[in-house]
Amino acid sequence: MEKNIVYWWICAFAIVHLVVHGNQETLPQPTASDKLPSLIKMNNDFAFHLYKRLVEMPEYQSKNIFFSPFSVSMALSELSLGAGGETKQQLLSGIGHNSSDFSTEEMHQMFHSLLEEIDQRTGVDIDVGSALYVSDKFKPLPGFLEKMKEFYHSEGFTVDFSVKETLDQINMYVKEKTHGKINQAVDHLESDTLMFLLTYIYFKGKWDMQFDPNGTHEGIFHVDAETTVPVQMMHQYNDLKVYYDGKLATKVLCLDYNDSFSMFLAVPDIDRRDKTIKDLEMAITRQHIEKWRSAVQKRKVDIYVPKLSLKTSYSLNDILKGMGMADMFTDIANFTGISDERIFISKALHKATLDIDEEGTTAAAVTTVSFRLLSYSPMQTLSFDRPFMIFITDQKNDNILFFGKVVSPAEKQ
């Protein structure tokens, strides 16, 4: 059978500054809602597995890391709608699905419930969804299209991939959904592309307790023992949520956005010279984030947080293969739920941006996948002037929307 190319792009965009977002009609799924905490745990465990595979890659070990695990896990779940056989089992296993917790049907229903719940949030500006671009020469199976729309809010477009206007159309869509944070999700499209999927998450929020711009000054960031770079360091002295994790020898700061979402910053204790950022990122798990939510307590502290503007880009092929999802990248891939044609994924990509300033945080991410045929408490001061980790989470359910590590605020990627 002649081979065709299907490009599956999953794009997630998040701007962290919380404002009101419009409601949409809900489709109640009582069983799915009851089990939603299990989906959150699955997604968050996946986040840490993905992160640890990512930092094992030589090209990223000394780089800033920032990505949206929620966008990737949602994309892979969407992908499983069209997968079959061993390919589907690898996808489900790779994202951490456990059939004893919930069925695959329930998993898709829970993603739908989560998307509906996010759309109804007040006090935030958050938008999550999908778009599917299909070649006018390709006919995916109707059942796949119906499920994409039902479970993942997928918009549908019929296009001609051989013309530049389609590339411009996709990039404009991404730009609009990310409010300009990601201007170009796609550099080029092969003319024989048959399908292109993107998922997005836009999230914009302002700090509950903003930093005074007059308190921002030039400081020094210690990249490592020998390297320093100048950075604009924001300062605040206030009653803030902090915690010292003795087991991890880590100082934790929780900065809220309008009591709806939070950013956790975690930095190894400088006085514990046997502990480094590498020790922290290898030891940390979902359970630590869950513990920090209730463990942080308000106390009067000095905090110093660098202003950031980061852009990251990752090839996920080898990372996902290393997580057990290898068949989908080979000619034995089974995507018979999408088409009778034999197709496989040729590439998977992820892009993200993060901006932190005195007013709040802005983050955006895009993931793309392409198919081819075939008791020590040193908490008086928290200075994030050396490599630290970042987590942007939903206060309501601890869902990790964004995850990263800052190695050098001055790094340009």
Q: Please report the pLDDT score of residue 53 as a whole number.
A: 93
Per-residue pLDDT, averaged over 244-259, amounts to: 90
Instruction: Please report which residue ranges of 104-228 form alpha helices under DSSP H.
Output: 104-119, 142-152, 164-177
| Position with higher pLDDT, 34 vs 187 | 187
Q: How many residues does the chain have?
A: 413
What secondary structure letter does DSSP report for 193?
B
Residue 100: CB atoms within 10 A of its CB come to 5
pLDDT at 229 over 90: yes
Q: Which domain holds residue 160?
A: 5-206+309-373
53 lies in some domain: yes
Q: Are residues 394 and 356 in the same domain?
A: no
Amino acid in position 238: N
Whichever domain contains 116, its CATH number is 3.30.497.10
Distance CA(402)–CA(68), nearest Å, equals 4
Query: Same structural domain for residues 135 and 106?
Result: yes
Q: What is the pLDDT of residues 141-164, one digit of tens each?
A: 999 999 999 999 888 999 998 999
Do 230 and 160 share a structural domain? no
Q: In the predicted model, is pLDDT for residue 202 greater than 60?
A: yes
412 assigned to some structural domain: no
Domains in the chain, number: 2
The two beta strands, 125-135 and 195-206, are antiparallel
Q: Quick check: is 413 in a domain?
A: no
Residue in 298, 293, 219, 304 with CA at minimum distance from that of residue 261: 293
DSSP 247-277: TTTEEEEEEEETTTEEEEEEEE-TT-TT--H
Residue 118 has pLDDT above 70, yes or no: yes
226, 300: one domain = yes
Mark whether 381 and 237 lie in a shared domain: yes
Mean pLDDT of 64-85: 92
Amino acid sitting at position 209: M
162 and 71 co-located in one domain: yes
59 against 126, higher pLDDT: 59
Measured CA to CA in angstroms, residue 214 lies from 97, 119, 305, 344, 410 at distances of: 48, 36, 14, 54, 21
